[in-house]
């Protein structure tokens, strides 16, 4: 666990926890997955790498996650995107490489769109997307819903699913599904104007590798590399996965020099 205590930024009605390591550019910005936090294995490995390499590193917890305030059930892609942009703009400077894991890759791709729209595309030095799950609400979860789940969403406003990774069930709200449609990225071309490297496990039970392959079709104008790990799961947190993540990151950095 990190020895750096969290700091907090008020975004909307929630105090967003973040950790910032000063260093040189390009900096690295971590964007975690659904129900994960900034003290996970991959984020901690990136922090240790940043400490050794001298690069800046920034990470945060979305509202309702980890050490941040706010209720998880109030969370939507739009809300978590706004929080991520606020932390990025307040605490990073110069070109940055966004490292997005699972849902964090969706947030990263939406950040790319919003930064370009605001004339801040120069801030993007590269993207490293790990088991990316863009549009997961409509593409991966909704097709699996049965009639009972749909009734639960309509009547209660949320549904629960057992989690392989926690004793607590996964909660999906109707608001998350509705908002997900407004944040789709797999409905057209995504122009990142920077190199993109995707790491995807072929044994991922949550995000099929065909989803990562489909994502590459929406990035035709950019320099995109897809690395498939034959026995890789969704987390990609084994020592060999961490080593690959760090080598890939260093490769992206080398291309910015």
**In the chain, how many H helices and how many E strands?**
8, 10
110/62 Cα distance (integer angstroms): 15
Q: What is the pLDDT along the chain (257 residues), one digit of tens a residue?
A: 566 899 999 999 999 999 999 999 999 999 999 999 999 999 999 999 999 999 999 999 999 999 999 999 999 999 999 999 999 999 999 999 999 999 999 999 999 999 999 999 999 999 999 999 999 999 999 999 999 999 999 999 999 888 777 777 888 999 999 999 999 999 999 999 999 999 999 999 999 999 999 999 999 877 999 999 999 999 999 999 999 999 999 999 999 87
For the four alpha carbons of 122, 251, 200 and 65, in that order, the dihedral sign comes to negative
141/145 Cα distance (integer angstroms): 7
Pairing of strands 55-60, 96-101: unpaired
Q: What dihedral angle (degrees, nearest 10) is formed by the CA atoms of 210, 212, 217, 218?
A: 130
Task: Return the percent helix, strand and coil in the chain, to nearest 5.
Answer: 40, 25, 35
Domain boundaries, the chain: 7-254
- State pTM to two decimals: 0.96
- 155 Cβ contact partners less than 8 Å away, ≥ 6 residues apart: none
Task: Decide: 205 and 234 in contact? Cβ < 8 Å.
Answer: yes
Cα–Cα distances (Å) from 100 to 153, 161, 211, in that order, read: 28, 24, 15
Backbone phi, psi, residue 112, to 5°: -55, -50
- Residue 159's CB: how many other CB atoms inside 10 A? 23
- Residue 184's CB: how many other CB atoms inside 10 A? 16
Longest dimension (CA), the chain: 54
The CATH number that domain 7-254 falls under is: 3.40.50.1820
**pLDDT at position 163, please?**
76
Residue 144 DSSP code: G
């Amino acid at each position: 666990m990190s020895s750096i205590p969290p700091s907090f930024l008020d975004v909307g009605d929630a105090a967003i926890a973040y950790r910032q390591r000063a260093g040189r550019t390009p900096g690295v910005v971590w964007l975690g997955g659904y129900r994960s936090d900034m003290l996970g294995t991959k984020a901690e490995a990136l922090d240790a790498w940043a400490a050794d390499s001298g690069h800046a590193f920034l990470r945060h917890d979305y509202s309702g996650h980890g050490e941040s305030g706010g209720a998880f059930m109030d969370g939507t892609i739009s809300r978590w995107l706004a929080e991520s942009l606020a932390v990025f703009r307040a605490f990073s400077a110069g070109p940055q490489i966004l490292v997005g894991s699972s849902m964090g890759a969706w947030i990263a791709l939406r950040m790319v769109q919003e930064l370009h729209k605001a004339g801040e595309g120069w801030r993007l030095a590269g993207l490293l997307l790990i088991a990316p799950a863009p549009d997961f609400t409509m593409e991966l979860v909704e097709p699996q819903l049965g009639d009972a789940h749909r009734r639960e969403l309509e009547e209660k406003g949320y549904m629960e699913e057992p989690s392989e990774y926690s004793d607590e069930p996964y909660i999906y709200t109707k608001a998350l599904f509705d908002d997900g449609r407004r944040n789709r990225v797999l409905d057209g071309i995504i122009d990142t104007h920077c190199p993109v490297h995707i790491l995807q496990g072929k044994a991922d039970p949550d995000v099929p590798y065909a989803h990562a392959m489909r994502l590459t079709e929406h990035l035709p104008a950019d320099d995109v590399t897809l690395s498939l790990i034959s026995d890789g799961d969704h987390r990609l947190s084994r020592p060999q996965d961490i080593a690959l993540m760090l080598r890939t990151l260093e490769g992206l950095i080398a291309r910015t020099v």
